[in-house]
Amino acid sequence: MHRVEIQNNIHTFVVTNFLFGQTLDLQAEDSLLDNGVIDSTGVLELVAFLEEHYGIKVEDDEVIPDNLDSTGRIAAYVEMKLSCAA
């Protein structure tokens, strides 16, 4: 699975579940936390989605902004997890 496809899936999940379909000009590098898109509970929902949708295990020490604070970072993180699992 390519990063663009992963990022599109994550973007769709975020818009559907956290923005409730509202149009927001959410760029790949935009901080989901700083822009108020998700909060700590939202991070848990996001982690559950990633684990279920991509079949990966998000370790507690990996739940950090470097991995999960933008759709671009999330896509890179998922891509890395998938390549490590292969």
| Those residues with Cβ within 8 angstroms of residue 14's Cβ, 6 or more apart along the chain or in another chain | 26, 32, 37, 38, 46, 71
The average pLDDT across 80-86 equals 90
- Binned at pLDDT 50, 70 and 90, residue 23 comes out as low
| Contact in structure between 21 and 45 (CB atoms under 8 Å) | no
**What average pLDDT does range 15-19 have in this prediction?**
91
Which pLDDT tens digit goes with each residue over 32-68?
A: 999 999 999 999 999 999 999 999 999 999 999 999 9
- At 20 the pLDDT is 84
Domains of the chain and CATH, by start: 3-85 (1.10.1200.10)
